[in-house]
Every structure is written in C-alpha cells, then in structure tokens.
A and B are shown apart, each in its own frame.
Chain A
Amino acid sequence: MIDREQVLHVARLARLELTDEEVGRISAELSDVLGHIEKIGELDLDDVPPTTHVVEVSNALRPDIVEPSLPREVALANAPAVAASGFLVPSPQADAEPS
C-alpha cells in the first residue's frame, strides 16, 4: 500500500536517511499501521467539524512589551558549531541538488 518510492519520498521530506533494509521494513510497518488507520475511512464524517483544540480558547494575545533577550554566549552555548558570533552551518549553496 505504501511502496518503496513513497517511503523514500517521505524520508526526503523528513530529512531522514534510510538504509535499504530500513526502507523495506518501514514500508511494511507503515502499510500495516495505515491499513488499521484507514478504517476511519468507513465513517460518515461529512458534516462533522474538525477538532484542532479541545479547549475553547481564542486570542490569548501577548502585549507588545519587550522582554530581556538571552546573552549571546547563552544563546550559542548549546550550538554544535559556532563562528563569527553565529551558528555555523554548511552553506545551502554547497548542495548541488536539494536532494
């Protein structure tokens, strides 16, 4: 039901790398779970509104008041790689393909 190609596509979207063995296993497992899940397709839900929140709250807006920011050394403290006062990453331009 969910084939290897779909698994690979979804893995790319999720930025996960799967070994050949994992692709096979996950496609079987996901098919299994999705097969169970698809039973909800049998329900008549046409006039039913979707629930995003079980609580009936709206707005919960924040006043536009400045709060202190973190000192830079704290902001950067957990970063795996730091340079020039910022978070160092491989350049996106360096990727030949968006993979």
Chain B
Amino acid sequence: MTEFEPVIGLEIHVQLSTRTKMFCGCALSFGEPPNTLTCPVCLGLPGTLPRANAQAIHFGLMIGLALGSDLAPRSIFHRKNYFYPDLPKGYQISQYDEPLCRGGQLGEVRIHRVHLEEDAAKLVHAGSSGRIHGSDASVVDFNRGGTPLAEIVTEPDLRSAAQAREWLTLLRTTLRRLGVSDVNMEEGSLRCDANISIRPVGVTELGTKTELKNMNSFRFLERGINAEIARQEALLRCGGQVVQQTLHFDPQTERITSLRSKEEAHDYRYFPEPDLVPVATSEQMLEAARSAMPELPAAREERLQSLGVSAASARQLAWRTELGDYFEAALAADGAEPQPLANWICNELVARVGEDDPNASKVTPDALAKLVALVRQKAVTIGNAKLVLDRLVADGGDPAAIVEAEGLGVMAGGDDALDPIVEAALAANADAAEKIRGGNMKAIGAIIGHVMRETKGRADGAEVTRIVRQKLGL
C-alpha cells in the first residue's frame, strides 16, 4: 500500500500589542462594550483616510529580525476588495506583493513572508429579528476592526500535525519574548490556518492543498490537521481527488466542513492603496528595531547549553520563557550551579506547578537556589529536599528554616548519633551484613534503608556506607 507524507504550511495571524489601531488612534479592545472604540476612520465614514501606526511597523520589523527575514527597504499597502459586514470600507488594507519582510527561518521551518494588515470587526449572530423580515440577523461590533495584525506565512516545511503544533509553540514563545503580541489562541490574538496536502512518500511534487481555517487552540490545531490528513488519505485511497478549498474544523464533532467563500471566485482586485504612502524602512527604524530585540528562544537555548545545562533542559527553559526567566533569576543567587538548578526546575518544580508560571508561585527563585545549594552541600538529602520543596510550594518560606524546623537536616558525618543506628541496622540485617562482607555491595541497600527509616531520611547515604565499611572492616 502507498505510504503518504503530509506537507503542511501555516499562515499565522498575530494581533500586535500596540496601544492603538493600525490606521487610527482608537485604543485596542479588551472586551469593552460594543462599538465604544470607534472613530470616523475605523468606521469607514466617507472622507476619512488611514494613517499607519509607527509602532505596528516597528513590531513588524522586530518580527522580521526574529525570523531572520529580509526587511524590505520599501514596502507598500494594497487594498483587498470584498464585501462583508465586518469590513467597513469594503476593502481590507493589507500588504500584497511588496510586504515588509520576506524569507527567513525559525527552527526547521522556512518563512515565506511577514506582512501587516488590519483586523476585521466582530460579527455576532443576533438570532431572528423582526426588523429584517423575520430572517436571521447579525450585529456588527467595530471595536476590534482595525486592530493591527502581522500575518506570518511559512513555507510548506512541516510534515506532521505534531510537528506543526511544536513549531507553533516555538513561534508563540518567540513572539511573546519579543513582546509584540499577547499570542493567546483562545482569545484570538494568535490565529492559525494550515495549508495541507499529502503526497506519496518519495514524490517531490506537491499534492493539491486545502486550507484549514482558524483553529483556536494548539490541541485543535493538531487534531484538525490530523483529521484533514486522514480525510485526504481516505479520498486518495479510494481513487478520489483532493479539491482545493477552504475548510473549517469543528472541534466538537471533529468534522471538517467546506466554508463558503466571502467573495465569489476570490477576485479581491488588489491594487496599491492610494491613501497611504510607501513605508521606507530607514536605518534609524532598523536600529530601533534591533536595539529592542530581546534574546530569542533559539539563542537562549544555545547560551544555556554553553553554561553546562543539558540539551533537554536548555530547550525546555528557552521555549518556556517564564521557566527560563525563573532559572536565570535563581542562577543569580550565590554559588548556584547551572545544571543541578536546571534539573530541579525542569523536573521537580515543573512537576509541582505544572503549566503555571513558577515566578507566580510561592517558591522564590532564591529559595530554590538555596535548596539546591543545601543538597549540594549535603546539608539535606535529595529525598528530604523534595519534601522541603513540597513545603515551599505550599507555604513558601526559607528552605534552611524549614530543614531546621522539621529536623530534616543531614546527620553530619562525625555525629555520634549515627554510629549506634548503623550498629543496630547491621544487627537487625545480619544476612545483608554477611553478604556485604562477602563482597556483594548491593546488599548495602537494606542497611541504608533501615538507617533512613530510623533517621526519617536525614542520614547521608554516603556517610552510612562509610560507617558500614568501617564496622565490617572493609
């Protein structure tokens, strides 16, 4: 049977976190009452003219720099003409054949282009209304209309839904790190469409693609793409053909349906927007964008590895910005060592706070650094340190104080108290003692376990081993 290979490209719309809209001075909407953030320009009143938001251009350039794109010295806006109630002017101002950024790469995926445009308004279904002959009606809220959007288009370099999801996570982290967007899929500030085709493995020619629209969470993105791949495969296997069309994935039913087009035949009649002048990216604008660039996840990953953090931890810390920030804050504490700290954050702390931001937890980075230091100094055993971390997560506080108050400290090597306990353990586990004497060091586990029970984990395993060896004359 023919094996098929999916070919996936993504088109991502990102709402930019400017203060004002793309072409007018209205503030961006965060759930304000409908139609309270409009003006003559974003309502498309006769005679009004757009004016491009400098900050949106700045953010666009930062995105281009982050993605390694070529930044156009000159880019222009076009009008994309179609009728829809959420489009007040009857056209959307967007970039067409002269976008702000071209090319680039993020991770293993090449970027085709990045361009700027304005968002549509919100159309809310209003049910039946007597005012329009009893037929269905909708209500338009122009608060969102004109919000600046960056559209990022990838090359078709993705080969599975899981890969698409993982890559989109990297993109989201990168954009969040840039501070150019809230990048929240559920709230619509990050929206993703996928162009999907499949082809027999080994074939280089692309199959006919479909466009899957607006999947509003990472989970739905993965499920939607998988469903579409399955649909196309089933079609081809029974001798059918994929038809180029725009599709909608319903996460409730997991069904894929065809979307009716907004404008028949998609004849958008693009032409250069005569009300706007070209954007000429000056050296000054470029310099402003460059100097606003934070360290990006890919670079951070590399830097963390160079500090001695393992590859897996470095990726986790770099791709989850908040983890990385937490790590760096903890690393600033006296004497902290990168790799053990990274381990404690990526394994123990993440196991306890889950997807939440550890910076918002009761465990301060400094407290975690102290705890790791206590472990390194053998002042507390690993097992007890995990108990201390539980207490920190629950109540916060200082790890040394918790160790002290709870009596969780390691019984020091020269501590007379440990000697009789080991003595008692050897006596109680004579078999084991015999085996050890016979050279089977594995048997020491029973002795250590006994000591640990007696000391509530405070004994240092290495110290116990030393005493055992001493007592057995090894």
Residues of A within 8 A of B (CB): 12-13, 15, 52-53, 55, 57-67, 69-72, 75-76, 81, 83-94, 98-99
Contacts and interface: CB of A to CB of B under 8 A. Distances in A.
A91 B135 contact: yes
B20 to A, nearest CB: 5
B76 A98 contact: no
A15 B267 CA distance: 13
Instruction: Name the 3 nearest CB pairs between A and B, nearest first.
Output: A67-B25, A64-B55, A86-B139
Contact of B269 (A13, A70, A76, A98): A13
B36 A13 contact: no
B228 interface: no
Contact of A89 (B34, B140, B282): B140
B119 to A, nearest CB: 16
A86 B141 contact: yes
Contacts of A94: 135-136
A70 B146 CA distance: 15
26 contacts: A15-B83, A53-B274, A59-B279, A61-B54, A61-B57, A62-B20, A62-B52, A62-B53, A62-B54, A69-B26, A72-B34, A83-B126, A84-B34, A85-B35, A85-B141, A87-B139, A88-B132, A88-B137, A88-B138, A89-B85, A89-B137, A90-B132, A90-B135, A91-B126, A92-B123, A98-B263
A72 B35 contact: yes
Interface string B396-436: 00000000000000000000000000000000000000000
Given A52-B76, A75-B43, 20 more contacts: A13-B269, A57-B277, A58-B279, A60-B52, A63-B55, A64-B54, A64-B55, A66-B26, A67-B25, A67-B39, A75-B35, A83-B131, A84-B139, A86-B124, A86-B140, A87-B140, A88-B132, A88-B137, A89-B137, A90-B138
A93 B84 CA distance: 12
A94 to B, nearest CB: 4
Nearest to B277: A57
Interface string B112-141: 000000000001111001011001111111
Interface string B245-281: 0000000000000001111100101001010111110
A89 B276 CA distance: 30
Contacts of A63: 54-55
Given A52-B274, A62-B51, A70-B39, A86 B34 contact: yes
A93 B135 CA distance: 10
A1 to B, nearest CB: 20
B85 A58 contact: no
B23 to A, nearest CB: 8
Contacts of A72: 33-36
Nearest to A73: B35
Interface in B37-90: 37-40, 43, 51-57, 74, 76, 83-85
Contacts of B267: 13
A91 B137 contact: yes
Size class of the B contact interface (CB-based, 8 Å): 35 or more
A86 B280 CA distance: 38
A72 B139 CA distance: 14
Nearest to A84: B139
B54 A99 contact: no
Given A72-B33, A92-B85, A12 B129 contact: no
B120 to A, nearest CB: 12
Contact of B129 (A76, A88, A92): A88
Nearest to B19: A64
B136 A67 contact: no
Contact of A86 (B35, B40, B54): B35
A73 to B, nearest CB: 10
A66 B141 contact: no
Contacts of B208: none
Nearest to B280: A58
A65 B125 contact: no
B33 A61 contact: no
B142 interface: yes
Contacts of A75: 35, 38, 43, 142
Contacts of B20: 62, 64-67
Nearest to B125: A91
B27 interface: yes
Nearest to B42: A69
Contacts of B455: none
